[in-house]
């Protein structure tokens, strides 16, 4: 048993006795004894996600089918016990944290790819299927599932749908939402509903599919997913462009888009990100380089060289220092390695990281970068920016040492200013990581009261007892939503 509350785990505000022996027996009857655990080892290992916050659940249940999910949710609803759908637990905003205790419903074992229909280009999967595994399987058949969050090798499709995950390829191909045709969902009542279907077109009734995509597990548990697939692009080409100024890079992004070219990816790194990588790896970049764009195009082999040439011409006048075009897969991989090593290299800068995921209209990227530089200078904090410039989605990393006196207050102000600047430019406080607990304090900055009230009305209608992932998205109690850093 747990000897004392774990170190930094916050005690849950829920009432620990709400999951009593009787309820445990019922859970065991539904899911099987081996799948229900109140062992401290299981509670401790389902208390966190990638935010590094910790909240202990009361019980962990590994489910195997929709029927079990439905019966468990129905039971929880009757007893008013929180239900926490959980995939891989790789969320960046606390979506799967049991902030009020309750039942963690682990969906990782519902991981069958039920069907890949090559005639209709669709696939039917269970929510625990890992994104990268589905991609590998459909690619074997010449098909393509584009959404590619950096966590694709371990995050689940259920989690991707709940957060509407995006990734580098979304510039051209769109986000998770654009591939979901239909869902099976267990509602907070325990009822099982089916939204959308297997067809590309469907206008029967409300578009509930879109309502559930991005709902962060607060409206129901997704138990089956129908996804749209594309033919796999024949080939791709990667280039890395080094700029003498961040302005050049930012203008290059809007110039390429205005030039009516939509590359597959348009990733950018600012000077501080480059410096971080330089500190941990040798980088073959000119010393004067202040920003980098990684541009990838895909399609028919023959068209790619022309596209790359066009891009080169379009941006040539924009402070470009050097351009390298990968000739082989290995060279392309080396370019991507630079981008992927940014996150891990941040720790060389400062111990505490506040990782924000803002998005602005693409044309506003230069202005946003300037605003970020101004905020960094004004408060004397390091802000490292990189991310999906092609769709205006910037990963803003405020790197500080919280041990410094007054730093927490400074960070609060810095984040507040960042979000204000974002919203002011017509942007959004979260592009792909969701709201969860981490961004809840800022949601009202972006949504007007009537819109927020509309969302809460929907939540109340579907989940009157507030059992489905309570304490997420909507700011309910200040205590639950204290800002937290993660140590990179």
Chain residues in the site for other proteins (CB under 8 A): 1-7, 9, 39-42, 44-52, 62, 88-90, 106, 108-109, 111, 128, 130, 132, 151, 153-155, 343-344, 347, 486-488
CA distances from 275 to 250, 251, 352 (A): 18, 21, 17
167 binds, among other proteins, ligand FAD, none (CB under 5 to 8 A by kind): ligand FAD
Interaction between residue 311 and ligand FAD (CB under 6 A): no
Residues 361-390, one symbol each (x = binds ligand FAD by CB under 6 A, - = not), give ------------------------------
Task: Give the length of the chain.
Answer: 488
Give the residue carrying structure tokens 């630079």: 338
**Under 8 Å between Cβ of 62 and 35:** yes
Which of positions 429-468 make contact with ligand FAD (CB under 6 A)?
A: 432-433
435 binds, among other proteins, ligand FAD, none (CB under 5 to 8 A by kind): none
Interaction between residue 166 and ligand FAD (CB under 6 A): yes
DSSP string, 356-373: EEEE--GGGHHHHHHHHH
Answer for which of 70, 77, 96, 195 binds ligand FAD (CB under 6 A) is 96
- Closest distance to other proteins from the beta carbon of 41 (Å): 5
Which of positions 322-341 make contact with ligand FAD (CB under 6 A)?
A: none
101 binds, among ligand FAD, other proteins, none (CB under 5 to 8 A by kind): none
Reading phi first (left if > 0) and then psi (alpha if -120 to 50, else beta), residue 476 is in alpha
Give the whole-angstrom CA distance, residue 196 versus residue 180. Answer: 9
3 binds, among ligand FAD, other proteins, none (CB under 5 to 8 A by kind): other proteins
Question: What are the beta bridge partners of residue 103?
Answer: 59, 83
Interaction between residue 165 and ligand FAD (CB under 6 A): yes
Tokens of 201: 């077109």
Per-residue burial over 390-412, b if 16 or more Cβ lie within 10 Å, else e, is: bbbbbbbbbbbebeeeebeebbe
Which of positions 195-254 make contact with ligand FAD (CB under 6 A)?
A: 216-217, 221-222
Q: Cβ closer to ligand FAD: 84 or 181?
A: 84
Give the whole-angstrom CA distance, residue 397 versus residue 424. Answer: 20
C-alpha angle 218-483-147 in degrees, rounded to nearest 5 = 50
Segment contacting ligand FAD (CB under 6 A): 92-100, 192-200, 397-405, 459-467? Answer: 92-100
Which residue of the chain is nearest ligand FAD when measured via CB? 159
- Closest distance to ligand FAD from the beta carbon of 436 (Å): 6
Stretch (H or E) spanning 33: none
4 binds, among ligand FAD, other proteins, none (CB under 5 to 8 A by kind): other proteins
CA distances from 172 to 85, 147, 250, 408 (A): 30, 10, 18, 38
Segment contacting ligand FAD (CB under 6 A): 29-37, 163-171, 358-366, 414-422? Answer: 163-171
């Amino acid at each position: 048993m747990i000897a004392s509350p774990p170190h930094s785990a916050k005690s849950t505000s829920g009432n620990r006795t709400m999951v009593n022996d009787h309820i445990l027996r019922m859970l065991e009857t539904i899911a099987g004894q081996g799948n229900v655990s109140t062992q401290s080892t299981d509670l401790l290992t389902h208390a966190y996600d990638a935010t590094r916050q910790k909240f202990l659940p009361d019980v962990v249940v590994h489910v195997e089918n929709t029927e079990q999910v439905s019966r468990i949710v129905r039971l929880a609803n009757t007893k008013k016990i929180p239900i926490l759908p959980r995939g891989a637990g790789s969320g960046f905003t606390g979506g799967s944290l049991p902030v009020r205790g309750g039942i963690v419903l682990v969906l990782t074992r519902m991981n069958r790819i039920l069907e890949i229909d090559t005639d209709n280009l669709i696939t039917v999967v269970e929510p625990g299927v890992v994104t990268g595994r589905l991609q590998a399987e459909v690619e074997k058949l010449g098909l393509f599932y584009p959404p590619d969050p950096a966590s694709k090798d371990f995050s689940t499709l259920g989690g991707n749908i709940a957060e509407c995950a995006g990734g580098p390829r979304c510039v051209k191909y769109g986000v998770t939402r654009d591939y979901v045709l239909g869902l099976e969902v267990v509602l907070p009542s325990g009822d099982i509903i089916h939204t959308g279907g297997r067809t590309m077109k469907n206008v029967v009734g409300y578009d509930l599919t879109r309502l559930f995509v991005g709902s962060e597990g607060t409206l129901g548990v997704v138990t089956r997913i129908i996804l749209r697939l594309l033919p796999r692009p024949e080939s791709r080409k990667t280039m890395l462009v080094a700029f003498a100024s961040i302005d050049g890079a930012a203008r290059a992004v809007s110039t390429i888009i205005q030039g009516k070219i939509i590359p597959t990816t348009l990733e950018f790194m600012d000077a501080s990100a480059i410096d971080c990588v330089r500190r941990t790896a040798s980088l073959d970049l000119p010393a004067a380089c202040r920003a980098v764009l990684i541009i990838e195009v895909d399609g028919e082999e023959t068209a790619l060289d022309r596209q790359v040439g066009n891009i080169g011409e379009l941006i040539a006048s924009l402070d470009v220092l050097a351009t390298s075009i990968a000739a082989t897969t290995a060279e392309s991989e080396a370019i991507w390695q630079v981008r992927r090593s940014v996150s891990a290299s941040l720790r060389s800068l400062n111990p505490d990281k506040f990782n924000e995921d803002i998005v602005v209209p693409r044309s506003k990227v230069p202005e946003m970068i300037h605003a970020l530089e101004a905020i960094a200078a004004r408060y004397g904090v390091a802000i490292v920016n990189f991310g999906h410039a092609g769709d205006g989605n910037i990963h803003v990393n405020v790197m500080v040492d919280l041990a410094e006196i007054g730093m927490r207050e400074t960070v609060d102000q810095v984040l507040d200013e960042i979000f204000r600047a974002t919203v002011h430019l017509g942007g959004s406080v979260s592009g792909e990581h969701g709201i969860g607990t981490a961004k809840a304090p800022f949601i009202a900055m972006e949504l007007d009261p009537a819109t927020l009230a509309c969302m809460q009305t929907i939540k109340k209608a579907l989940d009157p007892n507030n059992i489905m992932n309570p304490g997420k998205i909507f700011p309910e109690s200040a205590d639950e939503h204290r800002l937290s850093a993660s140590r990179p």
